Chain A
Amino acid sequence: MEEWLEATLGAELRRDLASWRNEYPWTGTRALPSPVYRYHGREIFEAAVAALLAGEHLLLVGPKATGKNVLAENLAAAFGRPMFNVSLHINTDAAYLIGTDTFRAGEVQFRPGPVYESAAVGGFCVFDEINMARNEALAVLHSLLDHRRLLEVPGSGQLAVHPAARFLATMNEGYAGTRELNEALASRFLVLRLPPFDETGLAALLGDALPQLSNEGREVLVALFLALTEKSRAGEISSRAVDLRGLLAAVRLIARGVAPWRALTMGLIDKCIEAEERELAGDVLALYVTQETSAQLFFA
């Protein structure tokens, strides 16, 4: 962790972060996050750390697989706070976030939700896909996120938010099921737009995920992914095949002995719904990997 922080943060920010961690040491029982992937964008990471040190909350915006959740997890780990993940959807309501009544031992009891718990102990609460929830449901967060830093729970009183608590949100724009974020809610966050991975970032990510990947194999995978990205940008296919998680999963399958063509088809090509789109995406794959290509190309 310290080595990575040294490579990713400037000296002043590192000092401030260390000082913050001393001021708010984690003493609870919940495990701290241990990220599998490190976030490699120095500029973005420094801006995020500075914002959180200043007491602000962050809204991370970008297309899928640009590292929004990876960044959130890395931030929680860097700050030494537990992470609470809240996946939002169309049916999310205030009860899901704050807590709900339940029937236990013959009486109605309040069961706190993840937002309540996080605010109480000073965790880093991540609202994943925040723009899939209805604005009416998210309105309960307003007093949490602004200068008031408190939460009113009907029937259970008022909760003052722990000073170490931070709220991060992730958001894709324009995807199915997403809506425009309410302006009042959006104004309570600082916005960081995460760019799609370029060649260098992709290569670094693949190197992190699978250190045993050969240089040649990494180049082939990066070129394949960028070719699919370009085809999606040109409007010839949708973004379904441009799936970084699918790419990583495919490479892990190759490491387990699945033929590269089969693995990459499962991870990328067959994500397309329309047959014509699968053909076009499959033709891209055919330039890099054929059915005869062996795993030795990727794992020498």
Chain B
Amino acid sequence: MRSRNRRRAENQVWTAAGAYDFAPAFLAFHVDGTPDAYLNAIVGFTHRFYDAAALRDYLASLGSSLLVDTFTDLCWLALESAVYPQAVRCSPALPQLREAHARRYLCDLRAVDVSLQQRMLQAGVVQTLKTARCREVLGEPLRLYHPWDRRLYAALSLPPERDTALLIRRMDEVLRHYFVFRWTNHLRQAMHIALPAWLHAVLRRLLPVRRVQDDTPRRTGGSGTDVGTAGAEGQRGLRLRAGGDWRRVLASFGAPYFPEGQRARFEEEICVGAHQRTHIFYARAGAGQAARALNTSFYQAHRAVYRTAARKLAAQVRNTLAVWRQPLLVPARTGRFTSAWAWRGACELDGRLFASSEERPRSDFDVTLLLDASASRESQQALIAAQAYTLAEGLMRAGLRVQVWSFASVERVTALTVLKAFGARQADGIFAYEARGWNRDGLALRALRPLLPAGRRQLVLCLTDAHPGDAFGLLPEGRTLAQAYMGKAAVRDAAAGCRALRRAGVRIVGLVNSVFPEEATQEAAREIFGTAFLCLRSPQDIARRAGAVIERELRR
């Protein structure tokens, strides 16, 4: 999940840029991880005043150099000097922000307990020039003692050119003049050479460079998001031989949610009839870093849309709670005359002869999101996690109690995994949602019953593709041969599971999103959920259509 500091930094860039339609390629943070408001504003103003794509391409082209980080830092030093005089016309507070940034930078430099290696790096050209810039801002002596440093500093103090090509040319000239080896140059400390990319790659492998944390704007991922560990296999795709140890399968789902005795009792009640010789398991979500990284990355890439959907859903539900309230008549001094109370006025006991109505909001039901986590959902794993997170967030913001479970079936074990419990204040656990195995929907729906608290109305929203299936078949009563848990038989069993929940007073609605052909999906969904299902095609559907489901439930 995008961190608070990162979100703040991005917003600082967007505010200065006056645009929100791009992912900032550079963000600046202080050594303690808090965003640097001044430098992020400079990044934003750079985007506003110049051709951002051209600048980005130029800075990316520096990647062929061994000194890419140094060059990038120096370019930003130059950009800051060019952008600041123009930006200060748009932002009257920028001078104060600049001074605060300079003071903070110098203070951090003195205060931070750094290693010897970092101290040596601090003595390098970038830190020297940045320190000089901060001193200049504060009106202090620059303390640039080396003539080379003074010349470079002067060269990087670019005038406020609006021409992007000219600006890039100036920066490039400075870098070439001071950092490309020519025998006529007077070098500062060592030779710095621009290398071909292949040699650069070889040398980086032999001579790994360790970065020092400072507040120069740093490159984000290619899409502006943090680069995670997406693509790692992790525990995905559990493969078991036929007849594998089912206890080993249980362990693969994560730590147990219930004590074994309680789980066994549930299993004894639920795994009967056509589901005999199967097992159920209730798990807490495991580490699943790969899935979490992938889901989080997807959500971040589309956060604006999903966050807006969550906000709209919350507003819609709150609105419904406010609107659909039950009237309560109370005695009052004005209102509708109530003849039965007229005696009060006649006897001069009480002037409240009229009835006035007060109304109270109702939210006496809980919401459970049940996510089909079978392998058929793998291609939409991130999308489903984002949808579920948006739903949960929206409903929680509206004050409803929400829990989120996923289910999958492996080797005769149908496991329900808690992604968000009722008591959890954050819904981030939903991003641990991982698709694998089969989906024995009928059993999963029956197994959901113990998780629904008594005494309150329950609404279950099932995110599914309406295509149940399991490798282990159905064993109907009185038969010796199992029937494959596929196709119509599986759909019928899932429908039976829904009916069982409804008999217990639970309202269940299918939120269907499938990669299978729409006609077949709708037919299956109709059989499983009756008329209580709807198709989610876009994030906007979450607010509008799921919100309508909640509204209908509140009005019941």
Residues of A within 8 A of B (CB): 90-91, 93, 95, 100-103, 106, 108, 111, 134, 174-179, 216, 220, 223, 227, 230-231, 234-236, 238, 276, 279-280, 283-284, 286-290, 292-293, 297
**Roughly how many angstroms separate A178 CA and B315 CA in the complex, as a whole number?**
10
Give chain B nearest CB distance to A235 CB in angstroms: 4
Name which of B87-95, B432-440, B455-463 contacts chain A: B87-95
The answer to whether B37 and A231 have CB atoms under 8 Å apart is: no
In the complex, B308 has a CB within 8 A of chain A: yes
Instruction: For B333, list chain A residues within 8 Å (CB).
Output: 102-103
Contact B336 A95 (CB under 8 A): yes
A287's contact among B16, B307, B319, by CB below 8 Å, is which?
B16
CB distance from B37 to the nearest CB of A (A): 6
| Among B7, B325, B335, contact of A276 (Cβ-Cβ < 8 Å) | B7
Closest residue on chain B to residue A178 by CB atoms:
B319
Across the interface, do B11 and A236 meet the contact criterion of CB distance under 8 Å?
yes
Per the 8 Å Cβ criterion, residues 64-122 of B in contact with A are: 90-94, 96-97
Q: What's the Cα separation between A95 and B304 when bound, in Å?
A: 45
Which B residues are CB-close (under 8 A) to A179? 319, 323
Is B357 an interface residue, CB under 8 A from the partner? yes
B213, CB-defined interface residue at 8 Å: no
- How many whole Å from B346's CB to the nearest CB in chain A? 9
- Contact of A280 with B94 at beta-carbon distance under 8 Å, contacts A101-B354, A179-B323, A236-B20 already known: no
Which chain A residues lie closer than 8 Å to B354 at the CB level? 100-103
- A244 CB, nearest partner CB in chain B, Å: 19
Q: Which of the residues B14, B16, B90, B351 comes within 8 Å of A236, measured between beta carbons?
A: B14
Contact (A283, B359) CB under 8 Å given A174-B315, A177-B322, A235-B307:
no
Closest Cβ–Cβ distance, residue B511 to chain A (whole Å): 23
Residues from chain A with Cβ under 8 Å of B315 in the complex: 174-176
- Chain A CB within 8 A of B12 CB: yes
Chain B residues within an 8 Å CB radius of A227: 15, 18
Contacts of A220 in B (CB 8 A): 92
Could you list 22 A-B pairs, sorted by A, with CB under 8 Å?
A: A90-B323, A91-B357, A101-B334, A103-B345, A108-B337, A174-B315, A175-B315, A176-B315, A176-B318, A179-B323, A227-B15, A235-B308, A236-B20, A236-B304, A238-B311, A276-B4, A276-B7, A280-B8, A287-B41, A287-B91, A288-B92, A290-B96
Shortest distance in angstroms between B217's beta carbon and chain A's nearest beta carbon?
16
CA distance A78 to B426 in the complex (A): 54
Interface pairs A-B: 10 shortest CB-CB: A234-B20, A290-B96, A235-B308, A101-B337, A287-B91, A290-B93, A177-B322, A235-B304, A280-B11, A284-B15
B92 & A103 in contact (Cβ 8 Å cutoff) = no
Instruction: Return chain A residues, CB-CB under 8 Å to B351.
Output: 103
Interface string of B291-328 (1 = CB under 8 A from A): 00000000000001001100100010011001101000
Contacts of A284 in B (CB 8 A): 15
> B92: which of A90, A279, A289 is its contact (CB, 8 Å)?
A289
Q: Tell me the B1-15 residues at the A interface (CB within 8 Å).
A: 4, 7-8, 11-12, 14-15
Q: Provide the residues of chain B in CB contact with A236, threshold 8 Å.
A: 7, 11, 14, 20, 304
5 more CB-based (< 8 A) A-B contacts, given A283-B12, A287-B97, A293-B93: A95-B335, A102-B354, A236-B14, A280-B11, A288-B92
B11 touches A283 (CB 8 A): yes
Residues of B within 8 A of A (CB): 4, 7-8, 11-12, 14-16, 18, 20, 37, 41, 90-94, 96-97, 304, 307-308, 311, 315, 318-319, 322-323, 325, 333-337, 345, 351, 353-354, 357-359
Nearest-neighbour CB distance to chain A for B143, whole angstroms, equals 27
- Report chain A residues within 8 Å CB of B325: 90
Report B-chain residues with C-beta under 8 Å of the C-beta of A235. 304, 307-308, 311
CB distance from A154 to the nearest CB of B (A): 11
Note all chain B residues with C-beta closer than 8 A to A103. 333, 345, 351, 353-354
Question: Assuming A101-B354, A108-B337, is B15 touching A231 (CB within 8 A)?
Answer: yes
Cα distance A101–B352 in the bound complex, in angstroms: 12
Min CB–CB distance B542 → chain A (angstroms): 14
Q: In the docked arrangement, what's the CA distance between A230 and B304, Å?
A: 13
Q: Is the CB of A286 within 8 A of B334?
A: no
**Cβ of A289: which chain B residues have Cβ within 8 Å of it?**
92-93
Say how far A62's CB is from chain B's closest CB, in angstroms. 18
Closest chain B residue, CB of each to CB of A134: B323
Name the B residues within 8 Å of A178 (CB-CB): 319
Contact status A287-B8, CB under 8 Å: no
CB nearest neighbor in B for A283: B12
Residues on B with C-beta less than 8 A from A290 are 93, 96-97
CB pair B91 A288 closer than 8 Å? yes
Q: How far is the CA of A102 from the CA of B94 in the complex (A)?
A: 63
Q: Which residues of A contact B15 (CB under 8 A)?
A: 227, 231, 283-284, 287
Q: How far is the CA of A288 from the CA of B89 in the complex (A)?
A: 10
A101 to B308, CA, bound (A): 47
Q: Complex formed: what's the CA distance from A288 to B334 in Å?
A: 52
B357 to chain A: which residues have CB within 8 Å? 91, 93
Quick check: A230 and B18 within 8 Å, CB to CB?
Answer: yes
B322 & A90 in contact (Cβ 8 Å cutoff): yes
A190 to chain B, nearest CB (A): 26
A170-B358 Cα distance, complex, nearest whole Å:
25
Q: With A and B bound together, what is the CA distance between A289 and B90 in angstroms?
A: 12
Q: Please, how many angstroms separate the alpha-carbon atoms of A134 and B325 in the complex?
A: 11
The minimal Cβ–Cβ distance linking A155 to chain B, given in whole angstroms, is 9
Q: How far is it, in angstroms, between the C-alpha of A90 and the C-alpha of B357 when the chains are bound? A: 11
Chain B residue nearest to A276 (CB atoms) is: B4
B318 to chain A, nearest CB (A): 6
Query: Is there an interface contact between B336 and A90, defined as CB atoms closer than 8 Å?
Result: no
Most B-side CB within 10 Å, residue of A93, A216, A238, A287: A287
Cα–Cα, bound, A179→B322 (Å): 10
A100 in contact with B20 given A177-B322, A179-B323 (CB within 8 Å): no
A125–B472 alpha-carbon span in the complex (Å)? 71
B92 touches A230 (CB 8 A): no
Are A234 and B97 closer than 8 Å at their CB atoms?
A: no
B359 to chain A: closest residue by CB: A91
| Contact (Cβ within 8 A) B334 A100 | yes
Residue of A91, A223, A231, A235 with most chain B CB atoms under a 10 A cut-off:
A235
- B198 → A minimal CB distance (Å): 42
Are B37 and A297 touching (Cβ within 8 A)?
no
Q: Please report the C-alpha to C-alpha distance between residue A297 and residue B334 in the assembled complex, in whole angstroms.
A: 53
Closest B residue to A293 by CB, please name it. Answer: B93
Closest-CB distance, B39 to chain A (whole angstroms): 13
**Closest partner residue, chain A, to B310 (CB atom):** A235
Expressed in whole angstroms, the Cα–Cα distance for A107 and B481 within the complex equals 86
Distance in angstroms from A225 CB to nearest chain B CB is 13
- Give the complex CA separation of A195 and B315 in angstroms: 22
A280 to B16, CA, bound (A): 13
- Contacts A95-B335, A284-B15, A292-B96 known; A176 to B304 CB distance under 8 Å? no
Cβ-closest chain A residue relative to B353: A103
Residues of B with C-beta under 8 A to A230: 18, 20
